[in-house]
Structure 1
Amino acid sequence: MATPLSADRLVAALRAEGVTVVEHPGWRTHNRNGAGAWGPVAGVMIHHTVSSGTKSSVDMCFNGYEGLPGPLCHGVIAKDGTVHLVGSGRANHAGGGDPFVLQAVITETYDDRPPAPRFHQGSKGATDGNSRFYGFECINLGDGRDPWPAEQLDAIERVSAALCRAHGWGARSVIGHLEWSDWKSDPKGFGMPAMRQRVQTRLGKDPARPAVPKPTPPKKPALEPFPGASFFRQRPNSPVITAMGHRLVAEGCGRYRSGPGPRWTEADRRSYAAWQKKLGYRGNDADGWPGPSSWAALRVPRTSK
């Protein structure tokens, strides 16, 4: 994760990527920082406005509406590709979402899509997305029929690439609202996997030059598959437990007085419970006994071929 860009650095990053920027009056000090944290940021979230008309959409995203004060995003992407900046700081755009999606975005470990979200605003275990994502609202009715002009899609690509380039992220740090919350469907009318491919292609180019060679992507590390819930209940003596313990320590969740070692102990259970709580689990879901989702997020390296 990264420190959010200042207003000046945000404008500079967007313009360097070829984005046409309009600064809405007052946007540089317009935010919801008094309502919660802003940063560290992990990615970019794309939305549709369910509205038409540039001026009315920009005004709505700047001011908000009854029950949801503005800004409702950081920038509004118009049909002609112009980006209207309306907020700098925390914005009311993402709401609560899935902690496993956040972890996948931070580590950029998913394939074409993040894990399917199971959380939403107000649900138990949801994570605050307003503190972790830049948000861009794209003017579209969101009915699946309203067209997405080439200029607008190009601006989404450029905005996303600009922020990824500024923070050293890859295209997997760009997600749609529907990939964050199981309540949402935006953006509707184009696919985020295809947009991420466009962003990744752009990131292989210098914005000031025609093209540079694409870097060779690093090989994905081999990970230990989930050995099953019963494996841990049998209190095994295995190098898998040692590898798991080292990952828990690396994540700041180690509760060991010594070790970790290969024998499953109560210290391993306490450490794993701390990891589950870090992911947003509570109650019986954070009892320290590993499950497949939390195990996948921990990314334990394979201990044997």
Structure 2
Amino acid sequence: MAPPMTPARLLSALKAEGVDVVEVPGWRTRNRNSKGPWGPVHGVMVHHTVTSGSARTVALCRDGYTGLPGPLCHGVITKDGRVHLVGYGRANHAGLGDSNVLAAVIAERDLPADRAADSDGNARFYGFECENLGDGKDPWTDAQLEAIERVSAAICRHHGWNERSVIGHLEWQPGKVDPRGFTMDSMRARVGGRLGGPAPGKPLPAPKRPKVSLSRLVAAARSNPQAKGQPVTYAGVRTYEAALVDEGLLAKRYSDGHYGTTTVEATSRWQERLGYRGRKPGQAADGIPGRDSLKRLGAKHGFDVED
């Protein structure tokens, strides 16, 4: 877990790793940050584009297309091994993926099978699209594979990650096949070698998940009707509010453990997103956490629910 690098720091890290970088005009401020969080980041995700032609591929990844606005990644790795930076911040590249995979990436242990689409990858991964048709026949050039290795190593080196923080889209989201034409295990071995050797084979223990008490959260919600609210001593309120911030439902300045009306309103919006309706007291989307809505939020954001 780490805050994203600044654009200048990313550029410096890539160049220090020997990456041939092309700065597409405006890349430093082109993002989808208005649609959701960007960070904390946990790893690097590799894709293929299903396109041919470098200029066309770079333009597509920069601008996106109808139904999926750009940027579609942070950098485009073309056949010649150059890395074209097209955006920085939240990008439409990863989509929803498996929270168990995310937990494994954070712990840098072996990846489980991706079976769910319950966690926002656009907020959590650096993304690189690679020019390739993805048909299993279009060749990957040596320069392109080396560029993927160098880009991944540069980011891992900055954050202190090992090669297990590098994954393919096919390992994140059910139904995806990219990148096709080489294995991610082989790429991770290359990244590990560049970083100074492979990571230890023994899986690290799974991180301990925080617990949030439903009853204490409900009590906090009902005891603070004021606009600002009063400080709540129960630490689980901050865990809960941080998850609402990550969902884009609560401004970060309100995630201070007060549980005022802003948190109640954010909870209502989360309940409505899940299909509940009615904001009057006692109705399903009244802003008072319920077991189902709390468990579903915890599943996405790494906390367990207790009574």
Asked if these proteins are the same fold (TM beyond 0.5), I'd say yes
What are the within-5 Å matches in structure 2 for residues 197-236 of structure 1?
197-204=189-196, 214=197, 217=200
TM-superposed deviation, 1:251: 2.8
Q: 1:10 maps to which residue? A: 10
Question: Which residue of 204, 210, 222 corresponds with 1:252?
Answer: 210
Residue of structure 1 equivalent to 2:298: 278
Change (3 A) 1:97 1:107: same
Counterparts of 1:188 and 1:276, CA distance in 2: 33
> In structure 2, what is the Cα distance between the partners aligned to 1:97 and 1:82?
28
Letter in 1 for 2:209: E
1:160 to 132, 149, 152: 152
AA in 1 matched with 2:57: S
Q: Contact 1:100–1:279 (CA<8 Å) still a contact in 2?
A: no
Structure 1 residue ranges (4+ consecutive) displaced by more than 3 angstroms after TM superposition: 214-223, 273-277
Runs of 5+ consecutive residues of structure 1 not aligned to the other structure: 121-125, 205-213, 224-246, 257-272, 289-305
Aligned to 1:116: 113
Q: Tell me the secondary structure at the aligned position of residue 280 of structure 1.
A: helix
Which among 118, 129, 132 is matched to residue 124 of structure 2?
Answer: 132
In structure 2, C-alpha distance between the alignment counterparts of 1:143 and 1:197, rounded to whole Å: 23
Q: How does 1:74-113 map to 2 (within 5 A)?
A: 74-110=74-110
- Rounded Cα–Cα distance in structure 2 between residues aligned with 1:67 and 1:221: 40
Alpha carbons 2:62, 2:70 under 8 Å: kept: yes
Between the aligned partners of 1:151 and 1:160, the Cα distance in structure 2 is 14
- Identity rate, percent: 60
Counterpart of 1:22?
22
TM-score by length of 2: 0.69
Query: What TM-score do the two structures reach when normalised by structure 1?
Result: 0.69
Q: Which residue in the other structure is 1:58 paired with?
A: 58
Question: Which residue does the alignment assign to 1:302?
Answer: none
The 1:200/1:66 distance shift into structure 2, 3 A limit, reads same
- Please state how far the C-alpha of 1:192 moved relative to its aligned partner: 0.2
After superposition, give the CA deviation of every residue in 1:167-213 in whole Å (9 maximum; x if it has no partner).
00010000000000112100000000010011001001xxxxxxxxx
CA-CA distance at 1:31 after TM superposition: 0.2
Aligned residue in 1 for 2:226: none
Q: Name the CA distance, whole Å, in 1 between partners of 2:39 and 2:6.
A: 12
Gaps of 5+ in 2: 215-292
Structure 2 partner of 1:193: 185
Residue equivalent to 2:68: 68
CA distance in 1, matches of 2:116, 2:183: 21
Deviations 1:227-257 (A, max 9, x none): xxxxxxxxxxxxxxxxxxxx8xx5321659x
Cα distance change on mapping 1:9 and 1:52 into 2, 3 Å: same
RMSD: 2.8
